[in-house]
Structure 1
Amino acid sequence: MTFDVVIVGAGPAGLSAACRLMQQAQDKGEELTVCVVEKGSEVGAHILSGAIIEPRALNELFPNWKALGAPLSTEVTCDQVFLLNNGQSGSKIPNCLVPKTMHNHGNYVGSVGNLCRWLAEQAEQLGVEIFPGFAAANIIYGAEGQVSGIGTGDMGCDAQGNPKETYMPGMDLLAKYTIFSEGCRGHLGKELIAKYQLDEGKDAQHYGIGIKELWDIDASKHQPGLVLHGAGWPLKEAGASGGFFLYHAEDAQVVVGLITDLNYDNPHLSPFDEFQRMKHHPLIAQYLSGGKRVAYGARAITKGGFNALPKMSMPGALLLGCDAGTLNFSKIKGTHTAMKSGMVAAETLFAALMDAEAEGAEGGYDLESYGENFQASWVYDELYKSRNFGPLLHKYGTVLGGALNLIDQNICSLPFTVRDNNPDHSRLKLASQSAAIAYPKPDGQLSFDKPSSVFLSSTNHEENQPCHLRLRDSLIPLGDNLAKFDEPAQRYCPAGVYEIIEDGSGEKLFQINSQNCVHCKTCDIKDPAQNITWVAPEGGGGPNYPNM
């Protein structure tokens, strides 16, 4: 099947690009064929974010979004930022000492998954074709090395790759230009960055793992629009960094989560268990006690920011949103920047397609004008001003780094750029040199185990299919990682995918429970040997997030 533009991923960036392309086509009386492929069973099924949504890009894309029924109704009414000293106490930071980037006046508590469902409706009304349940499995390259489209994965193959009775071959979706907007650590985006050396001369990319739950709470404790952020305990106790969030949404629900920076060095650390422990802090427990947990999920976030942004154009393709790393970590927000990156891409592509039509060309060029247009946009300016935020925290810690960020964001911009070029996977110390961490057992009221959590994510994969978690060397987990780091995959995975088990003879085995995978990509990022590669499973597999 041939299109003018194929878009991989129905997230904020991809759907905004699709909508803006068709808006321009309608304005100019042109016809475009635009296709979006989405590996989730439906649009929004794999979307997980905090989320506080800044509506700046949405205001530009659909100025009448309120009248159109966009699912943003809970405006932020109160911001509170805390530094947790230990498991019992914490200090509220005065607003004047909070970086301006973390002030949320005019923003909305919302579900990015539901926002994407709404954006997909707008895109389809504009004439975009959306194919949920189809995973982009491989990139199709042209004779001159340009991107010519993508291939969707075969469906109905057994674990050895042999066709079953339900076999259905994948499709080749060819395009003049292809947009890759897969979200953080997209497996095709990763391939493109390596093939075209898009990150040459850039800082190492950095990541965090965000774990989130949705709770129904007592209506008497609910304060719509109340937003809590904080840092310190429990991660500081483990020598790690990151922060928590708790947002009061609509319908007596709150979202609570913890972001753990993946540059931590203690291989005994478990982000999942740190999150479960955090919920027992009185600041958090006062809202959750007596409530009911109704959803769970996890997703890595790209937080390297401006310093790690790769070149986002290559022959025949563009790399957008969190696939490129446009999230603004100083705001802990990436939806508005992803949307704007998609809109700038659409404007660049539409001009190129019209020029190509006038010249009788077929496309496939490196649209370096996208970089120029991106640089001229407010999103570039926003990311540049926040370029030091993450590196300052990494180098100087929460207190001193936070103080320097206060100066940088509120008083005067630092006249230099702080660098952090140590990849997250390289930071682990040996297990023998690291303090063991004893996590309390979950109580089933505020804290829970991984199996019950994965159940709430509605994760499902066809069991008899090729494993989508591929080992470059099957001997490394037991032969190297276990001896050096007590195989940290057992702990950094928030879904219990990786286990060390013993067979009947006492022989240790490395077991991959791929059916549990919530597609967070943490294993692809944090494995110290970079031995695990995440690739797309059969379309439709994975989590099915509601309101996340």
Structure 2
Amino acid sequence: MLQIERETMEFDVVIVGASPAGLSAAIRLKQLDADLNVVVLEKGSEVGAHILSGAVLDTSGLNALIPDWKEKGAPIRTEVKRDNVYVLGEAGQVRIPNWPMPPLMSNHGKYIVSMANVCRWMAEQAEAMGVEIFPGMACSELIYGDKGEVKGVVAGVFGLEPDGSIGENTEPGMELHGKYVFLSEGVRGSLAKEVMAKYDLSKRHCPQKFGLGMKEIWEIGPEKHREGTVTHTMGWPLGKNAGGGSFIYHLENNQVYVGFVVHLNYQNPHLYPYMEFQRFKHHPMVAELLKGGKRVAYGARAISEGGWQSIPKVVAPGVALLGCSAGLVNVPRIKGNHNAMLSGKAAAEAAHAAIQAYRAGDELSTYESDLRGGPVGKDLKRVRNVKPLWSRWGMYPSLVLGGFDMWMNNLFGLSLFGTLKHGKTDAAATGEASKFPKIDYPKPDGVLSFDRLTNVSFAATNHEESQPCHLRLADESVPIKVNLARFDEPAQRYCPAGVYEVLEGEDGPGFQINFQNCVHCKTCDIKDPSQNITWTTPQGGDGPNYPNM
């Protein structure tokens, strides 16, 4: 058997993920001490290739990190001018006026951005300060020290045999060690998941809740384009089948972001989130906007929705969770990038102080307290009951009760509800197929709506086919014997990239994984009712290649 021999590189701080959180941490570390040795490892082919967000950016995080971002040419130019919220019915819509909403819900003064491009710009700022950034370097393994602390990662493994073994052409990668390791992998990152399990970081916290966000970029006619307009909708087509809603953001150059979010705590396993998105575009209001236009990009990712109650302990010996790895999205505001940046800044300040005190490999307890007691905690705590209210009582009661609760928190800093808990995990929320009606979805017309495989081609995703499948089954019999029998195998539908199929053969149905299609949304890791699927990193550079998401 071939043995692995790896080179080792030493750093002060190793950062996994060139995300808003990871890049903010790198920049802040260099601001505090230009001599710190900082490395950022990014699994995408380039910085931004795996970044997908709405996004209307609250610049408070960037203001705290780089106050002169305008002068430095940040790609943040389209200020919000109009802010609309609609409740949709199948044939019409009702606009919810802005005046009853608490001030925290206003998007005026925010910016419509491509977070992929913002991250590319942030990477330029970091590199100019001396941060080493290595794209195409997937981190596949954690390295632990003698005392059980996280002391580094394995990155850059290429050319494994299809069964995962070492072959003659395998590049074993290298070990990158740090006094501290920051995990900013995004939602449900494989290393963060391992750390949370190993150190039981979710103990005494609610389970994390998630949504699936799907997004297309459209070019529309200039006569229909309204630069700076932000529109959110709820209601049709989901109705009572699931929570969720849409966003339509008019950015520059006659382009609009069209997105749809489905909360993953839905019960009916026949629900098909991707087709709900495609059906949404046939609503008269949306269809009229898109008519004559063309879709130019597609992507999908999971979104953390648990908020304040679901933030795990964010530190363990030698390691810290940043951004979406910790679950810092403000769900009613539909924003998380500002909190991601602030978390990176806070983690960097804690690590700098520790390194100055000649510490290494311990818990950065000041980061934990700063995150919960600072602006991130304040932002999330005052909206903490909106998501559980929706989950318990549905859309209309939650609009009234959630709005009232946010006003109470905004005016008086308290809630009459206290802190409501989330229920079971999204996987456990899935009901048995026999107890729910099947849903008839219209066939995509190829003009406004598209089949999954056609749309996936607009994500430019690619995986080397000879590598091991990065979507791993704990038990290969479960998809057919359990999930198909009880839940009509929902992986066929919840995956927004058509990765999973049930195929009929001579010996009966079989389960097929088309991992080449994967856009790294990680919904399967979250929603599989048997929790039988684990998403891991493929070799570096593989996956989607998002241009302006």
User: TM-score, normalization: structure 1?
Assistant: 0.96
Using the TM superposition, give the Cα deviation of residue 317 of structure 1 relative to its aligned residue in structure 2, in angstroms. Answer: 0.8
Match of 1:538 in 2: 539
Distance in structure 2 (CA, Å) of the matches to 1:68 and 1:119: 10
Distance in structure 2 (CA, Å) of the matches to 1:166 and 1:45: 26
Q: Deviations over 1:283-318 (max 9, x none)?
A: 211211110000000000001000011111110011
Selected match of 1:176 from 175, 179, 194: 179
Structure 1: which 5+ residue stretches go unaligned?
none
Contact 1:44 1:116 in 2 (8 A): yes
Selected match of 1:140 from 139, 143, 168: 143
Match of 1:382 in 2: 379
Using the TM superposition, give the Cα deviation of residue 153 of structure 1 relative to its aligned residue in structure 2, in angstroms. Answer: 4.7
Contact 1:10 1:36 in 2 (8 A): yes
Contact 1:138 1:153 in 2 (8 A): no
Match of 2:520 in 1: 519
Selected match of 1:92 from 80, 95, 111: 95
Match of 2:284 in 1: 282
Contact 2:138 2:157 in 1 (8 A): no
Equivalent position SS for 1:466: coil
Distance in structure 1 (CA, Å) of the matches to 2:265 and 2:516: 27
- 1:70 matches 2:78: no
Match of 2:19 in 1: 11
Counting only pairs closer than 5 Å after superposition, residues 116-515 of structure 1 correspond to structure 2 as: 116-163=119-166, 166-237=169-240, 239-356=241-358, 361=359, 363-411=360-408, 413-415=414-416, 416-503=418-505, 505=506, 507-515=508-516
Quick one: structure 1 residues 506 and 474, their matched pair in 2 at CA, closer, same or farther if it must change by over 3 Å? closer
Using the TM superposition, give the Cα deviation of residue 517 of structure 1 relative to its aligned residue in structure 2, in angstroms. Answer: 0.3
Higher mean displacement: 165-174 or 431-440 = 165-174
Contact 1:313 1:319 in 2 (8 A): yes
Contact 1:22 1:127 in 2 (8 A): yes
Distance in structure 1 (CA, Å) of the matches to 2:277 and 2:84: 19
Contact 2:17 2:183 in 1 (8 A): yes
Equivalent position SS for 2:33: helix
The percent identity for this pair of structures is: 53
Which amino acid letter does the alignment assign opposite residue 315 of structure 2?
S
Distance in structure 2 (CA, Å) of the matches to 1:376 and 1:508: 53
Match of 1:22 in 2: 30
Distance in structure 2 (CA, Å) of the matches to 1:527 and 1:99: 36
Q: Deviations over 1:333-384 (max 9, x none)?
A: 010000000000111111111111xxxx5x1111112112223321111111
Which amino acid letter does the alignment assign opposite residue 349 of structure 1?
A
Which amino acid letter does the alignment assign opposite residue 33 of structure 2?
A
Contact 1:185 1:521 in 2 (8 A): yes
Distance in structure 2 (CA, Å) of the matches to 1:347 and 1:199: 24
> Aligned residues, how many?
536
Using the TM superposition, give the Cα deviation of residue 320 of structure 1 relative to its aligned residue in structure 2, in angstroms. Answer: 0.8
Distance in structure 1 (CA, Å) of the matches to 2:201 and 2:63: 31
Contact 2:187 2:304 in 1 (8 A): yes
Distance in structure 2 (CA, Å) of the matches to 1:512 and 1:47: 24
Which amino acid letter does the alignment assign opposite residue 120 of structure 1?
A
Contact 1:54 1:335 in 2 (8 A): yes
Distance in structure 2 (CA, Å) of the matches to 1:160 and 1:22: 41
Higher mean displacement: 418-427 or 264-273 = 418-427
Distance in structure 2 (CA, Å) of the matches to 1:248 and 1:411: 32
Distance in structure 1 (CA, Å) of the matches to 2:202 and 2:165: 37
Contact 2:48 2:120 in 1 (8 A): yes
Contact 2:215 2:258 in 1 (8 A): yes
Which amino acid letter does the alignment assign opposite residue 164 of structure 2?
G
Which amino acid letter does the alignment assign opposite residue 511 of structure 1?
Q
Using the TM superposition, give the Cα deviation of residue 163 of structure 1 relative to its aligned residue in structure 2, in angstroms. Answer: 4.8
Q: Deviations over 1:252-304 (max 9, x none)?
A: 00000110000000000011000000000012112111100000000000010
Equivalent position SS for 2:87: strand
Which amino acid letter does the alignment assign opposite residue 405 of structure 2?
D
Distance in structure 1 (CA, Å) of the matches to 2:276 and 2:61: 34
Contact 1:149 1:174 in 2 (8 A): yes
Root mean square deviation of aligned Cα: 1.1
Equivalent position SS for 1:81: strand
Quick one: structure 1 residues 99 and 277, their matched pair in 2 at CA, closer, same or farther if it must change by over 3 Å? farther
Structure 2: which 5+ residue stretches go unaligned?
1-8
Match of 1:101 in 2: 104
Using the TM superposition, give the Cα deviation of residue 410 of structure 1 relative to its aligned residue in structure 2, in angstroms. Answer: 2.5
Distance in structure 2 (CA, Å) of the matches to 1:398 and 1:99: 18
Higher mean displacement: 219-228 or 163-172 = 163-172
Which amino acid letter does the alignment assign opposite residue 23 of structure 1?
Q
Contact 1:198 1:312 in 2 (8 A): yes
- 1:46 matches 2:50: yes
Equivalent position SS for 2:288: helix
Which amino acid letter does the alignment assign opposite residue 191 of structure 1?
E
Higher mean displacement: 178-187 or 164-173 = 164-173
Which amino acid letter does the alignment assign opposite residue 32 of structure 2?
Q
Equivalent position SS for 2:406: helix
Q: Deviations over 1:41-75 (max 9, x none)?
A: 00000000100000001111111101111001000
